[in-house]
Chains A and B, each alone.
Chain A
Amino acid sequence: MHWNAKDMDTYLQQKEYIDTLLVPLVRLETDPTKMKSSASSTEFLMHLSTFIETQFKGRMMVMPPFTYTQSTNLTDMAATLSKDVALTPFKHVFYVTTDSEWTTTDIEKEVIWLPAIPLESMDKSLRQSVIEDQLKQILPLLTKKWANG
């Protein structure tokens, strides 16, 4: 499910089935030398979350990405996010990001960190298979969480 009015209606009717929230965390670099790589990893992460959404439409709500710039205090951001996200009725919450700083930041629930793969030079079918491979990597994490209730 996307975070839009139509999908939200479906969600509100099917709450018992859609129990997972996926939150993409996007780091934007404003330093001109890093802007290209930041754009590339954003592209990768957005492609991946869209793909996850089509695969697990009926179980997952994908939030619009949370974007922050490089000097954001992640500890504070994590605290705020955890507190606010806890108010939603979702049973499972996953954060997905390409920013390695999150691996050392304390945040409630699961952070899925993936190295960004530059997709811009790939053709369509290669891009698709790369994204699928990435999903296969994180699939066990999801199913394990779901299996444990």
Chain B
Amino acid sequence: MSKKRVSRRQFLSYSLMGVGGFMASAMLMPMVRFAVDPVLQHGGAGDYTATKQKADELTETPVRVDFTIVDREDGWYKSDESYTAWVYKDGDTIIALSPVCKHLGCTVNWGGDENHPNQFFCPCHAGRYEKNGMNVAGTPPIGPLDEFDVMVQDGLVYLGTTKPNTLV
């Protein structure tokens, strides 16, 4: 043990520094935490929405799957948004296509045209798409249907966001 005596003045300034530092850090910590919070937030599984569709009930024929994203936030305004997808199985992979026509945004249906039962059909201007979403040449659409990110969890199909078609 050192023989150096701690004077009253020193003791007071040490304890003031200690308490002051503690208080400063109590103020700064939340600020730093708030500042870096957006970086720490991770997307991933949170971006997927559960649907009622069981994965093992899917077949080669596209079925309509409706799902709702609850409490979607747009600024301070919260709302539920409904979406639809055409989901089918291609071998072992599950494919979900967006029903929004690439022409002017109508809703397409599977087998909506009697003459082309195995295609997606847009009732507005008779646009047609192959099963993989490829637009049929000679009909108004100018591109293939968008695709949803798909994930299976606990036997249920989860759908994410749309992305440009990767199948064609």
Contacts and interface: CB of A to CB of B under 8 A. Distances in A.
Given A17-B140, A56-B106, A124 B123 contact: no
25 contacts: A10-B104, A17-B103, A17-B104, A17-B140, A18-B104, A55-B106, A55-B107, A55-B123, A56-B106, A56-B123, A56-B124, A57-B104, A57-B105, A57-B106, A57-B107, A57-B124, A58-B103, A58-B104, A58-B105, A58-B124, A59-B106, A59-B124, A124-B68, A125-B66, A143-B123
B68 A59 contact: no
Contacts of B123: 55-56, 143
Contacts of B116: none
Nearest to B125: A17
Contacts of B104: 10, 14, 17-18, 57-59
Given A17-B140, A143-B123, A58 B66 contact: no
Interface size class of B (residues with CB under 8 A): 10 to 19
B101 interface: yes
A58 B125 contact: yes
Nearest to B104: A58
Which secondary structure dominates chain B's binding surface? loop
A128 B66 contact: yes
A13 to B, nearest CB: 10
A98 B23 CA distance: 67
Interface size class of A (residues with CB under 8 A): 10 to 19
Contacts of B66: 125, 128
Contacts, number: 39
Interface in B82-119: 82, 101, 103-107
Nearest to B82: A128
Interface in B30-72: 66, 68
Contacts of B80: 124
A54 interface: yes
B106 A58 contact: yes
Contacts of B101: 58
Given A17-B140, A124-B68, A128-B66, A54 B125 contact: no
A54 B107 contact: yes
User: Which residue, of A18, A58, A128, has the highest number of chain B Cβ atoms within 10 A?
Assistant: A58
Given A56-B124, A143-B123, 6 more contacts: A14-B104, A17-B125, A57-B105, A57-B107, A58-B101, A58-B104
A85 B71 CA distance: 39
9 nearest A-B residue pairs (beta carbon): A58-B104, A59-B124, A57-B105, A58-B106, A58-B124, A55-B107, A57-B106, A58-B105, A56-B106
Contacts of A58: 101, 103-106, 122, 124-125
